[in-house]
Structure 1
Amino acid sequence: MRRLGRFLRLVVLVALLAPPLLILAYRFIPPPVTPLMLIRAAQGHGLQRDWVPYGSIAPALARSVIASEDNLFCRQALGFDFGALREQFEAWREGDRPRGASTITMQTAKNLLLWPGRDPLRKAMEAWLTPQVALLWPKQRVLEVYLNIVEFGPGVYGAEAAAQSFFNKPAARLTAREAALLAAVLPSPLTWSAAAPTPNLRQRAAIIERRVGQLGPLLDCAANG
């Protein structure tokens, strides 16, 4: 029983220390692969990815992603949008279906270390990992990692692979419209394509472009340099 107790304590210690140590390491080194990349590769989607530094990604893409996914990203201290979380809790309490309140930091934690899905265990682990990412990384590192690992299409990960695959150009040369199209596909990258956008996707991209122009200082943490 003593051996079992020591083993269980060791397991708990590793479970508590391993994620923050890994997150701290990834502040400085590019993550080699993510669980989603391995899952998609096993499903036959392949793996296209080319890590580039934040300065080699057109600023329009970071702005478009913030405008599309998380308007208050630059103002969040712990990686959560507490106002949106309260709204979702109220919706759940009134019997409505919550629409989700996922932030860019939450998505980065999930994409980096967890599996896809909405099961309670994964959501709990995401909530535990998110403040660690928010506290250990500066905002631009969150954006840099997110824009290099997020799925833009089947087997296509990160800004550089997406720009080359869909627009035949490097990520540094993306236009505002191309950046908005890439941001527009993020909710459903296996269904929507920035290379062959539907009218609905084009409309969504146009809304994102307009929102970028409206956010002003809320985009200040995305600026290069």
Structure 2
Amino acid sequence: MAKKSRSTAKKKKPSRKRSGGFRARLRTWWRRGLLGLALLLVVVIVLPSFLPVPQGFYMRSEARRLGDIQRVWVPMDEIAPMMARSVVAAEDANFCNHWGFDMSAIRDAIEDGGNRGASTLSQQVVKNVYLWQGRNWTRKALEALMTPLVEAAWSKRRIVEVYLNVAEFDEGIFGVEAAARTYFGTTPEDLTAREAALLAALLPNPKERDAANPSQFVARRASQIADGAATIARDGRAACFED
């Protein structure tokens, strides 16, 4: 009896058992991937809520470019309350009233044609600690994803504390300790209300402004910030990050 040619031989169909086994393995890999992602988020988001925060991408790049940077971490208890109020008044007056995004500020920015910033303190902390500088969509998407997670895992006081220790106040000057020492020869704890307002007035263009020899714009901006800091202390918008 003649053998059937290979061309006419019927191909075997994959068994349901084999395809089912593949789907089971795929589900297992998917579950393990989700578990790995959850553990990564615990390490990346939760641990820095109480452990020291490392240098971010921008800080490290500036250290390589300049050869060194000035930065000494100081806890919130060793920073003048007026300094915390000043940066909040300057950068995010509604900080205590939002969950990471200030929707009213975003609407105002859209109505203004995008000529004003709407980035909250929480968003800036995420960018400075985890991400890189720039306005590309990848960074903005990651920032939008991570900001609510940081808001959920960190206290408001911790967010302000980290911000004050990672913000850039001049070329190679990071954090309020280095800024207070460089501009006024003092410590963060001993900053006066005027000095705190002048430091906050450097943001968000610290390389173009000087707190020790302020321009008319910086001096005027500092006065506005001092008024704003007094206002948020009076109306309760500073309560979430103060004792």
Match in the other structure for 1:181: 198
Q: 1:30 aligns with which of 36, 52, 75?
A: 52
**Equivalent residue number for residue 218 of structure 1:** 237
Aligned twin of 1:87: 108
Match 2:88 to one of 50, 66, 81? 66
| Structure 2 unaligned residues grouped into runs of 5+ | 1-21
Q: How far 1:67 sits from its partner (Å)? A: 0.7
RMSD between aligned residues: 2.2
8 Å contact kept, 1:166–1:195: yes
Equivalences for residues 27-176 of structure 1 within 5 A: 27-44=49-66, 46-76=68-98, 78-91=99-112, 96-176=113-193
Aligned counterparts of 1:112 and 1:138: Cα–Cα separation in 2: 16
Shift of 1:13: 6.8
Bigger Cα Rg: 2
**Corresponding residue of 2:214:** 197
Determine the C-alpha separation between the residues in 1 that align with 2:214 and 2:196.
Answer: 13
3-state DSSP of counterpart to 1:48: coil
**Whose relative contact order is higher, 1 or 2, with alpha carbons under 8 Å and at least 6 apart?**
1
The CA deviation at 1:40 is: 1.3
Identity %: 42
Question: Where does structure 1 lack aligned partners over 5 or more consecutive residues?
Answer: none
Structure 2 residue identity aligned to 1:219: A
Deviation at 1:41, TM superposition (A): 1.7
Aligned 8 A contact 1:50 1:160 in 2: yes
Q: What amino acid is aligned across from residue 73 of structure 1 in structure 2?
A: F
- Equivalent residue number for residue 8 of structure 2: none
The count of aligned residue pairs is 215
Q: CA deviation at 1:156?
A: 0.8
Residues 66-108 of structure 1 deviation map (CA, whole Å, 9 limit, x = unaligned): 11000110111x21101222333445xxxx2352310001101
* Structure 2 length-normalised TM: 0.81
* 2:238 aligned counterpart, secondary structure: helix
Which amino acid is 1:88 matched to? Answer: A
When residues 44 and 108 of structure 1 are mapped into structure 2, their CA distance, relative to the original with a 3 A threshold, is same
Counterparts in 2 of 1:47 and 1:70: CA distance versus 1, 3 Å: same
In 2, the alpha carbon distance for the partners of 1:81 and 1:22 equals 24
In 1, Cα distance between the equivalents of 2:36 and 2:165?
28
Partner Cα distance (1:197, 1:13) in 2? 52
Maintained 8 Å contact 1:64/1:212:
yes
Other structure's SS at 1:49 match: coil
| Mapped contact 1:59–1:222 kept (Cα < 8 A) | no
Q: Which letter maps to 1:99?
A: R
